[in-house]
Amino acid sequence: MALARCRYTPPSPKIRGSRKSILEYSPSSECPDPASALPPTMTSTAGTWNSGGGEARLGRSPSCLLLRLFFFFSPPSPLSRRAAMSDTSSVSRLSWNGNRDDSFLDYNLLTSMTVSFLQELPSYRSIVRRRTSILSRDKSGGTLLKPASSEIRSYLETGKSEREHLGSQSIRKYALNISEKRRLREIQEAQVKYLSDWDQWKQYSTKSWKRFIEEAKELASHLELWKNDIRSIEAKFGTGIQSYFSFLRFLVILNSVIFTIIFLFILLPIILTKYKITESTFLILPSNEVDMRCKVYPVNSTGLIYFYTYMIDLLSGTGFLEWTSLFYGHYTVDGIKFKNFTYDLPLAYLLTTVVCLALSLLWIVKRSVEGFKQNLVRSEEQFQSYCNKIFAGWDFCITDQSTAKLKHSSIQYELKTDLEEERIRKKIAERTPEETLRIYSLRMLLNAIVITVLAACFYAIYVATVFSQEHMKKEIDKMVFGENLLILYLPSIVITLANFITPLIFSKIIHYEDYSPAFEIRLTLLRCVFMRLSTICVLVLTLGSKITFCDNEECRVCGYNHKIYPCWENQFGQEMYKLTIFDLIINLAMTVFVEFPRKLLVTHCSSWKVIRYWGQQEFAIPDNVLGIVYAQTICWIGSFFSPLLPAIATVKFIIIFYVKEISLMHTCRPSTRPFRASNSNFFFLLVLLIGLTLAFIPLGISMTHIPSSKACGPFTNYNTSWEVVPKTISTFPSALQTFINSITSEAFAVPFFIVICLIMFYFIALAGAHKRVVVQLRQQLAMESRDKRYLIRRLTEAQEEMRNRPS
């Protein structure tokens, strides 16, 4: 049995290599006992290693083990006779389909004894055991590799089947070809007859259940959005670019879900009121505390509207758009009366926003957990980077010849830079103190330049925002169409310009900083992310300061500058709306007016050297991802002030998807610097997460600290919008109230925080311990392999002896 088992082993466990190394192995060197290398706690914690250590101890007295072996192979033993029989039969069958693995043939005949022995070796077994235990923990359910498909093959050959082994396991998991699988199935089916009715029924039902699940999955896969588009992109350009489009699809789905929630809980009640299906109470008239001045909200002229004002309104959200349900100001309903209860719209409005943000957070975290896990494993295994690049380097999805060529060169580039990085690391270690000092001072200087550039950008955005806010209120009629639009869009234009120029500056600066190539890319990316997201921050802060700042005492009356901003939430929403629209326009314009002419130039005037050198536009994944994360962050910030913004963002992302697809297929070329799918999935979500946290800050401040405007919106009766929550809680039964109060009090929060910290420390300590154990296990594995080689050497010697004796 044991002999037959190894016959098929496609990779008979490294006979060649081990034989070579046997020669190098010096018998004089004592094998240290691996069990003693471990601290006493180890043997108790790592259960699987008890046996490993014990078996390794056997290896210390190889002569005893060899004796056993000889007993095993000696002729009179009935056990070995059977082994010999199956050996001859396997030889004959080898000649029958030996052509299948002709290359192993001579091996299997010559070394079948050694090979079988190899599989019985303790260290080999423990590797198998360890791997399966790891896998079963990961997958939690039977997907672990059956120890070796060779064993299954041997069952196939001998016809003897162990019921529990084949059982109801899915044949799919064995690495066999179809004809072999068919035989396996026959054996399984033959077994079924011997099973009890209950087991048969169980097997049948699990099978049909599985088939049902598969059918359902297949049906569901037809519903998947853009399945074919993404598939064809993946087939042509590989998984890196595919992950960008999957990310875009995720954002479309996320935004449409957010919009659905907003529609159901905010818009639908309003619509029902409008068509008199339900009755609603409008806002209660002002209580005396509030100054009348705060309630004035001058409505713009409703006279003749010129076409160009109409266009301006459409692009900037002013005029007729200001009073539609697009913006916060429209929602002035207080309660909607249904038959039994009153729907509290202000509360619903606030909670919907909070729920949408929480939902986005949970969804992103859930998606990023997988990538985060992989990243953790990878960062632990820093030294595995080469293996990942070599064994998983080729993207088998690629079918496009030019993409394949690009992939070749990018792999070559990556490998070269990695090797160079190693050399640079060595060089850094050898750096003299003067050189170190010089480089550090240079880096300080360059970082100062970076900060200056950033500060200049932020200042420009600040100035532009202030200018645009101050001049916006001027008479529209007196201005030329373009000038007006320019003023309205000034902040957006400045932000876009800053986002366009700074990455160029950063990528130039980084060359002088003398970092390793991989770190260069990462640092540039980090700076760009910072730039992108902080521009929004600056804009929001400027607006916030403009809203709460007044020249004279007037602010005290309402808590905000009611002269310029009678309904500041609307203005805020308009800013976000403008940013969204402008971003879309820029995206479209870049494709139509830059990439397309460039492509035309490159294809038709390729004789000019400059143009050929210039080439087609690169499809750089990080830049594109930053672009859409920026758009999404704006959408999150704006969703409170402009509830329909998620819907606009959905449409926008759909348009961007098609535009990018077209530009990728026709006008762009994939980037020479590849982006790995595993890297990207985590990176995208991380940046998105940063964007989301950024969105929390202005929303939180505006909800809790800036007084809500008294002239419009659902929160006219409250000081700040958040006040609606405590007010609602105060209507709850007293027991619930005390419960909620105690949960939100410091007395609860502080211990809770401490407990969480303790749990975190526990996990950190656990991780550290695991890391140490891994190192020790690694050492032990290396030692055991030395045992193995020693044993093999002794065995081959013994074989030689046996062979020589009869002759």
Partner 1 sequence: AEEDFSWFDLTEIELLRVKCLPHTLDVLRASSLYTPFHIQLSHKTQRARAHRRFIELLPPESRNVEDSLRVRVSTEQILTLPELKANPFRERICRVFSTAPERDSLSFEDFLDLFSVFSDAATPEIKSHYAFRIFDFDDDGTLNKEDLKCLVNCLTGDGQDTQLTSSEMKQLIENILEESDIDRDGTINLSEFQHVISRSPDFTSSFKIVL
Give the C-alpha separation, 104 to 109, whole Å.
Answer: 9
Give the angle subtended at the CA of 160 by the CAs of 159 and 166, to the nearest 5°. Answer: 100
Binding track, positions 383-422, relative to partner 1; x by CB under 8 A: xxxxxx-xxxxxxxxxxxx-xxx--xx-xx--xx--x--x
Choose the stretch contacting partner 1; rule: CB under 8 A; options: 44-52, 101-109, 440-448, 580-588: 101-109
Helix (H) or strand (E) holding 333: strand 333-337
Q: Is 686 in the site for partner 1 (CB under 8 A)?
A: no
- Pick 284 or 782: Cβ nearer partner 1: 782
Site for partner 1 in 624-643 (CB under 8 A): none
- Pick 782 or 802: Cβ nearer partner 1: 782
- Pick 407 or 578: Cβ nearer partner 1: 407
Q: Is 424 in the site for partner 1 (CB under 8 A)?
A: no
- Pick 108 or 617: Cβ nearer partner 1: 108
Q: Is 16 in the site for partner 1 (CB under 8 A)?
A: yes
Give the C-alpha separation, 196 to 199, whole Å.
Answer: 5
Site for partner 1 in 695-724 (CB under 8 A): none
Rounded to the nearest whole angstrom, what is the least distance from the CB of residue 407 to partner 1 in the complex? 8
What would the DSSP string read from start to end of 389-451? HHHS-S-TT---HHHHHHHHHHHHHHHHHHHHHHHHHHHHHT--HHHHHHHHHHHHHHHHHHH
| Strand order, beta sheet including 333-337 | 279-282, 333-337, 342-344
Residue 801 is which amino acid?
E
Rounded to the nearest whole angstrom, what is the least distance from the CB of residue 72 to partner 1 in the complex? 24
Give the C-alpha separation, 505 to 487, whole Å.
Answer: 27
Contact with partner 1 (CB under 8 A) among 103, 140, 552, 734:
103
- Which two structure tokens, joined as six digits, stand for 366? 């859930």
Site for partner 1 in 593-622 (CB under 8 A): none
Give the C-alpha separation, 192 to 208, whole Å.
Answer: 16
Site for partner 1 in 194-233 (CB under 8 A): 211, 214, 217-218, 221, 231
Q: From the CB of residue 628, how many other CB atoms can be counted at a distance below 10 Å?
A: 25
Contact with partner 1 (CB under 8 A) among 51, 782, 797, 802:
782
Give the number of residues in contact with partner 1, rule: CB under 8 A.
98
Q: Is 100 in the site for partner 1 (CB under 8 A)?
A: yes
The burial of 158, by beta-carbon neighbours within 10 Å (0-12 exposed, 13-18 middle, 19 or more buried), is given as middle
- Pick 314 or 377: Cβ nearer partner 1: 377
Q: Is 127 in the site for partner 1 (CB under 8 A)?
A: yes
Give the C-alpha separation, 239 to 233, whole Å.
Answer: 9
- Which two structure tokens, joined as six digits, stand for 632? 């999404």
Give the C-alpha separation, 249 to 226, whole Å.
Answer: 8
Place of tokens 């007859």: 193
- Pick 384 or 719: Cβ nearer partner 1: 384
Max Cα-Cα span within the chain: 119
- Pick 342 or 384: Cβ nearer partner 1: 384
- Pick 98 or 286: Cβ nearer partner 1: 98
Choose the stretch contacting partner 1; rule: CB under 8 A; options: 121-129, 341-349, 654-662, 688-696: 121-129
Choose the stretch contacting partner 1; rule: CB under 8 A; options: 50-58, 68-76, 97-105, 703-711: 97-105
- Pick 678 or 716: Cβ nearer partner 1: 678
Rounded to the nearest whole angstrom, what is the least distance from the CB of residue 91 to partner 1 in the complex? 15
Rounded to the nearest whole angstrom, what is the least distance from the CB of residue 591 to partner 1 in the complex? 26
- Which two structure tokens, joined as six digits, stand for 621? 């994944």
Q: What are phi and psi of 653, to 5 degrees?
A: -65, -35
Site for partner 1 in 137-166 (CB under 8 A): 143-145, 149, 159
328 alpha-carbon distance from chain centroid: 34
- Pick 238 or 544: Cβ nearer partner 1: 238
Q: Is 91 in the site for partner 1 (CB under 8 A)?
A: no
Q: Is 183 in the site for partner 1 (CB under 8 A)?
A: yes
Give the C-alpha separation, 591 to 598, whole Å.
Answer: 10
Rounded to the nearest whole angstrom, what is the least distance from the CB of residue 6 to partner 1 in the complex? 11
Give the C-alpha separation, 489 to 339, whole Å.
Answer: 47
774 alpha-carbon distance from chain centroid: 26
Give the C-alpha separation, 626 to 524, whole Å.
Answer: 13
Give the C-alpha separation, 399 to 314, whole Å.
Answer: 45
Site for partner 1 in 556-595 (CB under 8 A): none
